[in-house]
């Protein structure tokens, strides 16, 4: 099942020079990079992105952190992209994330956890639309990779 999902390399990942490492992990998994841009987020965009947390006590810290430095925004596509990305990302708290995951290898806490990834098809659709216009998402085919996916998936 083909899916698209949003990934954000957060300020801590960008400032630590981990953007390339993060992208390469998704590409090695067989996911296709469809859109990417490097930018600083406005407070308004950050508040919209994190709107579901607006009533939580950590909301203002979350917004302040994501606008503190540039981020890398990406859309990736592939078979079961959402669960694949979530598995590669690891548990929210980097101190508790499994070794081999992005957060397990590079995250240091719940707040400084390197990366954001959409957690459902509905969230992915909403979040992609928050950051990308449809004409910014490129459609193309990768060379046949029959060794990555079974025919019926």
Instruction: Tell me which residue range forms the domain holding 47.
Output: 2-132
Sheet strands side by side (includes 115-117): 32-39, 71-79, 2-9, 115-117
Closest CA to 116 of 148, 107, 153: 107
Whether 143 is covered by a domain: the verdict is no
Q: What is the pLDDT of residue 60?
A: 94
Whether 65 is covered by a domain: the verdict is yes
Whether 150 is covered by a domain: the verdict is no
Whether 49 is catalytic: no
Q: What is the pLDDT of residues 11-44, one digit of tens each?
A: 999 999 999 999 999 999 999 999 999 999 999 9
Whether 147 is covered by a domain: the verdict is no
Whether 13 is covered by a domain: the verdict is yes
Extended strands (E) in 10-134? 32-39, 71-79, 115-117
Whether 113 is covered by a domain: the verdict is yes
What CATH number does residue 122 fall under?
Answer: 3.30.70.141
Is pLDDT of 5 > 90? yes
Whether 124 is covered by a domain: the verdict is yes
Q: Which of 4, 25, 103, 116 is catalytic?
A: 116
Helix segments in the chain, DSSP class H = 11-15, 19-29, 43-49, 59-66, 81-89, 102-106, 121-131
β-bridge mates for residue 78, sequence order:
3
Is pLDDT of 140 > 90? no
Whether 108 is covered by a domain: the verdict is yes
- Domain count of the fold of the chain: 1
Query: How many residues appear in the chain?
Result: 153
Is pLDDT of 150 > 90? no
């Amino acid at each position: 099942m083909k899916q698209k999902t949003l990934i954000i390399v957060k300020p801590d990942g960008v400032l630590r020079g981990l953007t390339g490492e993060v992208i390469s992990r998704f590409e090695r998994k067989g996911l296709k990079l469809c859109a990417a841009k490097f930018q600083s987020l406005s407070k308004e965009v950050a508040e919209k992105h994190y709107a579901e947390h607006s009533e939580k006590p950590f909301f203002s810290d979350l917004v302040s952190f994501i606008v503190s430095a540039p981020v890398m925004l990406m859309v990736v596509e592939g078979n079961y992209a959402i669960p694949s990305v979530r598995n590669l990302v690891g548990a929210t708290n980097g101190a508790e994330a499994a070794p081999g995951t992005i957060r397990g290898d590079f995250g240091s806490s719940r707040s400084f956890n390197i990366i954001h990834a959409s957690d459902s098809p509905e969230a992915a659709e909403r979040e992609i639309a928050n950051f990308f216009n449809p004409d910014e998402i490129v459609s193309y085919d990768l060379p046949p990779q029959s060794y990555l996916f079974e025919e019926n998936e």
